[in-house]
Structure 1
Amino acid sequence: MTAIKGIVFDKDGTLYDFNATWGAWTLGLLTEEVGDDPARLAKLAEVMGYDVANRRFRKDSIVIASTASEVADAIMPYLPPQPKAELIARMNARAATAPQVEAAPLADYLDGLRGMGLKLGVATNDAEAPARAHLAASHVVDRFDFIAGYDSGFGGKPEAGQLIAFCEATGLAPEACVMVGDSTHDLHAGRAAGMRTVAVLTGLAEAPELAPHADVVLPSIAELPTWIVAQG
């Protein structure tokens, strides 16, 4: 088996714990959008798969793997009439300031992976600008050889464009790379690109849903280095 030389990470639910990061923050977002209108807030939360009372997303939420554009399409019917581009810009600006809860202490973690000689990338269905803002806030943006959002010109997951672009940017063959993510979109993209796939449980999906599409299911990215070493 080809030695692993590169890792592509999903962001939300993988590098960062999904509900710990977005649970409470999303209530503020929805409130700002609908104002003092409990009925509209409830409808918007229902469409997004968001539990207002517990400030958590359900595991069937559309936001798990959707792009900002896809989320905007879903919620626009329940908001005052407005250009879609303005809604997306507002969503991205707010998302860029959301405090991120790291799934593992990222600076030391990524330094360890780089010390193993690995090339690192991020492929997210978030927009590139807020993704870079989150990584910069964690002081790790410089640890990555490649960062792409759905709007970076390579498409979004479950298509393989971002992962193929990572291979082109690093000069690595897909079979020498691993896609790490918390959703079936991530895993499907990895398989489509010809990479090995690793699922983590720091998102909303559970192991039985992820396992058929992954080479291994891990509790979090913290266990990934041990698994890589075991691959030889």
Structure 2
Amino acid sequence: MSFSATHPALEGIRLVVFDLDGTLIDSVPDLAAAVDGALRDMALPEVGEAAVRDWVGNGSRKLVERALHAVGAQDMELEAAHETFLRHYRQAPCQLTYVYPGVRDALEALAARDMMLGLVTNKPTAFIAPILECLGLSQYFVVMLGGDALPTKKPDPAPLLHLAERLEVVPSACLMVGDSRHDVEAGRRAGFRTLAVPYGYNHGEPVAASEPDVMVESLGELV
């Protein structure tokens, strides 16, 4: 396979920062199993995978909060419910999760071009390495940042700016790749170029409405 051609979105880019859930991997089946497991432990009704698919993107605590509200249990102790969810998720974070088509080819192509690749996700840090290792993706990223690594998470631009500064790359030479309005907003506020994919999680809304700089149907288009 030849990697000589360059997608226009990559012109002048030195650092590509990827979102994880909904961009590189579909983790909703495992997340939904953990949410429903936590709800069962609290003698509450399950919500199912379809609902969880619309709630992902703002971190695990917010995911659990949305599930509690959906079943009319918003007055329950959120922290205890969140810990119960985390216990279930730790037991099987990568049992049903899979890599989207085109992702491996894109990462391989970018690595072959000596592009620096980073990961910024709102998922708790403890889950990132195990999932990436399970799926064979960890070797591509020079730095990975979870949602609990800094005081703020996406859509705040701080995590993106932290990576750019750490790797000594000016924001104008960085590309944020994601699936949601939070990724696009974080990238725009950080001064990054933004690229979005339409197949992920965006609270039931088309990510194109957030007006990213570039849209691709598959990350395989970057090859």
For this structure pair, what is the TM-score category when the shorter chain's length is used for normalisation? 0.7 to 0.9
Q: Judge conservation of contact 1:122–1:147 (CA < 8 Å) in 2.
A: yes
Q: Which residue of 2 aligns with 1:176?
A: 173
| Matches for 1:1-80 after TM superposition, within 5 Å | 3-16=12-25, 18=26, 21-23=27-29, 25-35=30-40, 40-42=44-46, 45=47, 52=48, 55-57=49-51, 61-63=54-56, 65-76=57-68, 77=73
Q: Judge conservation of contact 2:16–2:175 (CA < 8 Å) in 1.
A: yes
Q: What letter matches 2:64 in structure 1? A: A
Identity of matched residues, %: 27
Q: Quote the Cα distance in structure 2 between the aligned partners of 1:217 and 1:190.
A: 14
Q: Quote the Cα distance in structure 2 between the aligned partners of 1:36 and 1:125.
A: 25
Q: Which residue of 2 aligns with 1:229?
A: none
Q: CA deviation at 1:32?
A: 2.3
Counterpart check, 1:200 vs 2:163 = no
Q: What letter matches 2:126 in structure 1? A: A
Q: Quote the Cα distance in structure 1 between the aligned partners of 2:173 and 2:136.
A: 27
Q: What letter matches 1:66 in structure 2? A: N
Q: CA deviation at 1:208?
A: 4.8
TM-score, with structure 2 as normaliser? 0.79
1:112-135 deviation line (CA, Å, top 9, x unaligned): 201112100111111112122111
Q: CA deviation at 1:9?
A: 0.4
Gaps of 5+ in 1: 46-51, 226-232
Q: What letter matches 2:33 in structure 1? A: G
Instruction: Find 2:106's aligned residue among 99, 105, 109.
Output: 109
Q: Quote the Cα distance in structure 1 between the aligned partners of 2:87 and 2:108.
A: 33
> What is the DSSP-based 3-state SS (H/G/I as helix, E as strand, rest coil) of the residue aligned with 2:119?
strand
> What is the DSSP-based 3-state SS (H/G/I as helix, E as strand, rest coil) of the residue aligned with 2:17?
strand
Q: CA deviation at 1:73?
A: 3.1
1:8-34 deviation line (CA, Å, top 9, x unaligned): 000011011x3xx424x3553344223
| Matches for 1:76-115 after TM superposition, within 5 Å | 76=68, 77=73, 83=80, 86-87=83-84, 89-90=86-87, 92-94=89-91, 96-104=93-101, 106-115=103-112
1:128-147 deviation line (CA, Å, top 9, x unaligned): 12122111112221210110
Q: Judge conservation of contact 1:211–1:217 (CA < 8 Å) in 2.
A: no
> What is the DSSP-based 3-state SS (H/G/I as helix, E as strand, rest coil) of the residue aligned with 1:134?
helix
Between 1:29-38 and 1:193-202, the stretch displaced more is: 29-38
Q: What letter matches 1:34 in structure 2? A: L
Q: Which residue of 2 aligns with 1:210?
A: 208
> What is the DSSP-based 3-state SS (H/G/I as helix, E as strand, rest coil) of the residue aligned with 1:222?
helix
1:138–1:128 CA distance, 2 compared to 1 (3 A): same
TM-score, with structure 1 as normaliser? 0.76
Q: Which residue of 2 aligns with 1:230?
A: none
Q: What letter matches 1:215 in structure 2? A: D
1:146–1:27 CA distance, 2 compared to 1 (3 A): closer
Q: How big is the alpha-carbon RMSD for the aligned residues of Structure 1 and Structure 2?
A: 3.0
Matched residue pairs, number? Answer: 208
Gaps of 5+ in 2: 1-9
Q: Quote the Cα distance in structure 2 between the aligned partners of 1:160 and 1:92.
A: 27
